[in-house]
Structure 1
Amino acid sequence: MDHFREVTAIKVPQWLAGWNEISFNPKEHRKRPKPYFYLFSLPARELRSLTGIARRSASGIAPRAADLGIQRQHEPERSEEIKQFVEYGFPWSTLNESKRQSAEFNDLRKPGWLPTAIVINILEITDSRPSGGVDQNDLVTIAQEGQSHKIILPYSDWTPDWRPSHSPPFEVIDGQHRLWAFEAGDTDFELPVVAFHGLDISWQAYLFWTINIKPKRINPSLAFDLYPLLRTEDWLDRAEGHEVYRDTRSQELTEALWSHPESPWHDRINMLGEKGNPWVTQSAWIKTLTSTFVRRWTGRSTGPGGLFGSRMQEGEEVLGWSRAQQAAFLIFAWKAFRDAVGKMDSGWAKKLRIQAIKDSAASASSGEDPAFYGRYSLIPSDQGVRGYLHVLNDICFTWASHLQLRSWQVERRAGASDADAVALALTTLSRHPASDFVSSYAQQAARFDWRSSSTPELTDQERRAKLVFRGSSGYRELRAQLIETLRDGKGDIAEAAKRL
């Protein structure tokens, strides 16, 4: 029998009788946890190798070990700060290079202790993840010998080049940035570990929230990027209010659409709700996004969920795009729509351009396309914005399993207000298969007659048909008619529309 490396651990029972009344539901990724966890220590680099190394290939596709539906997201800058602290302590680690080179501040060097435990989950052979399970030969098991317990690792002696053959046996719940600070360096630097065993992923998200948010250690909005699964937790919606994620994220995305130079809505959103401003208000944009891309999905009976705020139907896992990626996706979709409308030289678009010339409209003289931006176009109205985004979200959510959405990753994770990060995401998105689907949607949506009821020279029948888009019921009617237009087309867009 092969000899495996064993690490002594302390078993810590933690269970109260009242916890038996908790609702444990495997279908919600909350199966009943074991009533204990383990305490032990491991060299930092060895611990890191057991949790996988999230290196990205040139294609931008993430390794299976870094699936966005479950794992916390990594910010390299935070790990670099921790690395400097470990090596030099505080405050020497915060000094600039010139001060470090001088001997004047050498007395400020201190030990860089990391006494706080890394919290992990040890996967079992039955644990299923979107990235796959753990190979039998890579499993970490636990054995009891008398009163002591042993963590049995899948090798006899660890070496720096050891890698799991498939998914790693450990999942990091909290402490990833501390762990990832050890790319190289002293292999004897050990970290304390708190290890759960076979803990379901919803409980992992819950632990992350209670460790990091309730003590007010990090910004709640950032937490939804670091641990995307939190976006869909029902207990957060009920206890904290949906605005924790949904309203805040919708406002941030609206501001990105207004501020980013590549956005068709750059400086074309009424951010202050001013009277006389012709553009859709910020408030209306926020309501549209919370009703579409950032809405919850509570089940198939309620229709599609929000692409940014719901568990996906395949495997019911959340899409873990960063705020910059979310903003880039919206900007790309609107650019594709503007381009598609701009290429139309007949039908409703041509009629609006002719009307603008007759009226000497400001939009015509400014170089803006009256078919997209003009006062007789539905597109720059509240109903138009809601209609285009509503159907875009729904067909993407419905067709998600075909679009490989999780494979679109951007090395730089940042907020929607980071213009450079959004520009980088736009560049990478244009090379992703999903971009063709979105562009095709935009082209087919442009076939819809986007003239408003106030357009001159409409026939009485055309005007009556347009009047149904007014008022709150107009949102639903515009969505329904736009879907009908898509259903009459061909290809994936038509098939996705038929599913709606």
Structure 2
Amino acid sequence: MAGEIQAIRFKQWLPEWDDFGFDPAQHRRKPDEHILLFSMPAVQLRALSGVYRRTRDSEGGEGLQRLHDPKRSAAIRDFVRFGHPYSGLPIAARNESSVAMRKPGWLPTAIVVNILTDRDERRGRRVAGSDLVSVRHDGDNRAELTLPYTDRLERWTPSDLEPFEVIDGQHRLWAFDEALKDGSLPGDFELPVVAFTGLDVGWQAYLFWSINVSPKRINPSHAFDLFPLLRSAEWLETFSDLRIYRQARAQELTEILYTQPESPFHNRINMLGESSRTAPPGAGVTQAGWVQAITTSFLSTGSGRSANGLFAADITPTTGPLPWSRPQQAAFLILLWDSIRVSIVESQPHWVKALIRPEGQESLDPDPMLAFTGNRTMLNQEQGVRGVLAVANEIFFGLAQLNPDLFELDTRVIAGAATTPEDISVALGELMVEGLATAIVDFGAAIASFDWRSADAPGLSDNDRMLKRAFRGSSGYVALREQLFRHLATGPKGIAEVAEEALKRLS
């Protein structure tokens, strides 16, 4: 007796499609207006399915699938068994300490197949009459499939061509085919199936393209906006996935700082890593330097000994990370750096005057912007950028813990959407009327009063020059960070309190 499967029958057809150029001679005969949706055990689906790899001969090409990649099928098999991220671990790392990383390996995405009829031929072969799968309609939205054999878990073999042909999902099926041989996956694990009936190979090729090529995949950074928990999941941080999200976001924020007209770094980042002779004027820091600085500060997850990132880590265990979108994050960084620039230009702290008037020398036009964009200020060098971002992140993360309401921003910007310059401008305008803007301006004024002259600046004493040389290299970042916190500890009250706490952690 044959086996039976219940299916949902749904219509995907528009009246205007009737006028399309259907041509059987071009392997594009008019398809059925209805599609089927059902599930069946992976072992059964694999037995009924044929997968045709793309080949060419003197008469043309036929078949859709790419060459089978055993590694990909093995990865899917491991994912089903252990979930992510455990399935991505090397064998040596799968031990007792990593067992907690196991998760369910769900495969909710449907395998797409075509049910062959008695008029379909593939490379000179047809489905034997006794092996055909018949479809009986039972009302408007119900259907029943009659299979050529009864046992759902039997590894049945057709006498000729398989009655199903796979349009999309071959590697998932091969994963089960191999797993059933070694007993690593159960035979009754079911997969969802979307089935067309009697679909010509021309339409199958079109469908394969529309599934695998045409759709625009979701940008990882869009997901970073839409799912804030991706920013702080500790089990993800152990591996590469979250780093990819964070580095992608850091690069986008760097791009915005470079392209946004309101940014003090507009057209002033060395995006291509050029030499100082060919880099844009005033571009003392490379794109890679900015990406690294943002990733290790505002996008740090706080795991291990790293700082908690304002844009990534949980502010509190109950509230999670800030739900700020990319335009809001960019607006924060723009206002932060612009506050520093404004304080330098308008207040002209002592070090600025010493830089533009070395040893008291007067010039026709002493420009304070040189203290921000020149080649003898650390604010235009990687050490300075990384130092500012590191301490700014820790200060504002501390303020967010003390006063979370300050960081609740109303916005008209839609999270996860493609970001436009107008979105950045809107977010910047919204931020400037919030109470948080006052804290940002206070921070900018406090950080601008630190002596940012580089070691090769004129007029430095021997002791000052030696101190600034100590800021170079990897150990110099730690020294600069400590000096900045000591400086900020004498600043505005709220900022000073957080800086003092940071110094306690450093001691």
Relative to the length of structure 2, the TM-score reads 0.53
| Aligned pair partner of 2:284 in 279, 285, 288 | 279
Quick check: 2:308–2:394 contact (8 Å CA) kept in 1? yes
Change (3 A) 1:291 1:400: same
Shift of 1:303: 5.6
Shift of 1:315: 2.7
Distance in 2, Cα, partners of 1:269 & 1:490: 31
- Residue matched to 1:387: 387
Change (3 A) 1:248 1:345: closer
User: What's the CA shift string for 1:362-421, capped at 9, x where partnerless?
Assistant: xx68x6612222222111110111111110000111121315255213112266851111
- Residue matched to 1:259: 259
Shift of 1:238: 4.0
Distance in 2, Cα, partners of 1:416 & 1:438: 27
- Residue matched to 2:294: 289
Change (3 A) 1:322 1:233: same
Distance in 2, Cα, partners of 1:279 & 1:390: 18
- Residue matched to 1:460: 462
Distance in 1, Cα, partners of 2:316 & 2:479: 26
Provide the aligned C-alpha RMSD in A. 3.7
- Residue matched to 2:485: 483
What's the secondary structure of 2:449's corresponding residue? coil
Distance in 1, Cα, partners of 2:408 & 2:435: 10
- Which 4+ stretches in 1 moved above 4 angstroms? 356-361, 414-417
- Residue matched to 1:249: 249
Quick check: 2:349–2:449 contact (8 Å CA) kept in 1? no
Quick check: 2:293–2:386 contact (8 Å CA) kept in 1? yes
Distance in 2, Cα, partners of 1:379 & 1:417: 27
1:44-443 matches, within 5 Å, as 218-238=218-238, 240-276=240-276, 277=279, 278-298=283-303, 302=305, 304-313=307-316, 315=318, 317-355=320-358, 369-401=369-401, 402-413=403-414, 417-443=419-445
Shift of 1:462: 1.4
Give structure 2 stretches of 5+ with no counterpart.
Answer: 1-80, 87-99, 104-214, 503-507
Shift of 1:489: 2.6
Shift of 1:453: 0.9
Quote the sequence identity (%): 40
Instruction: Give the letter aligned to residue 412 of structure 2.
Output: E
Structure of greater Rg = 2
Distance in 2, Cα, partners of 1:355 & 1:404: 45
Change (3 A) 1:416 1:373: farther
What's the secondary structure of 1:482's corresponding residue? helix
Quick check: 2:344–2:368 contact (8 Å CA) kept in 1? no
Instruction: Give the letter aligned to residue 295 of structure 1.
Output: S
Instruction: Give the letter aligned to residue 409 of structure 2.
Output: W
Q: Which moved more, 1:382-391 or 1:412-421?
A: 412-421
2:446 aligned with 1:444, yes or no? yes
- Residue matched to 2:174: none
What's the secondary structure of 1:218's corresponding residue? coil
What's the secondary structure of 2:378's corresponding residue? coil
Relative to the length of structure 1, the TM-score reads 0.54
User: What's the CA shift string for 1:300-341, capped at 9, x where partnerless?
Assistant: xx3631111111136361111101111000001001111111
Change (3 A) 1:338 1:255: same
Distance in 2, Cα, partners of 1:353 & 1:244: 42
Quick check: 1:328–1:425 contact (8 Å CA) kept in 2? yes
2:473 aligned with 1:471, yes or no? yes
- Residue matched to 1:91: none
Distance in 2, Cα, partners of 1:225 & 1:311: 15
Distance in 1, Cα, partners of 2:331 & 2:296: 19
User: What's the CA shift string for 1:256-275, capped at 9, x where partnerless?
Assistant: 00110000000110000011
Quick check: 1:321–1:409 contact (8 Å CA) kept in 2? no
